[in-house]
Amino acid sequence: MPVVGFAGDGAFGIAVTELTAIGREEWPPVTMVVFRNYQWGAEKRNSTLWYEDNFVGTELDDGVSYAGIARACGLQGVQAKTMEELTTALNTAVVDQMQNGKTTLIEALINQELGEPFRRDAMKKPVVVAGIDPADMRKQ
């Protein structure tokens, strides 16, 4: 069975150094799809919900290519800009994984539309409880 992982670019960026390890000969090959919208989508959604569509520090550098980083680590790195390119890249990557023992990272370039939060109840504004100073809560 092929192993295919999926992640957003913000989350994947936290572990991008794993690309230096996953191509080792003693490890089985994998296919990784990184959805590239150049933003920390969950954090940006939180900010826009809590702070009247204002956000800061949620945009990622569009000059960085995860496919390029994968190639620099000795893996196959491919960018897909359309659904057709993604379909072709994914099919090719799975064949290369299963038949040729190769690991591939596919960087799928997508739009920047923000989705709904994962948990709507977790996206509520913090509230001040009568008689409790929020500063005291942070000290605990």
* Domains (range + CATH), the chain: 4-139 (3.40.50.970)
Query: What confidence tens digit (pLDDT) does each residue in 7-24 have?
Result: 888 888 888 888 888 888
Least confident span in 30-34, 37-41, 75-79, 135-139:
135-139
Question: Where does the pLDDT of residue 117 fall: very low under 50, low under 70, confident under 90, or very high at 90 and above?
Answer: low
Averaged pLDDT for residues 70-79: 95
Does position 35 have pLDDT exceeding 80, yes or no? yes
> How far is 90 from 62, CA to CA, in rounded Å?
23
User: Residue 34: pLDDT band by 50, 70, 90 thresholds?
Assistant: very high
Distances (CA, A) of 23 to 36, 50, 77, 99: 21, 41, 12, 15
User: What is the model's pTM?
Assistant: 0.74
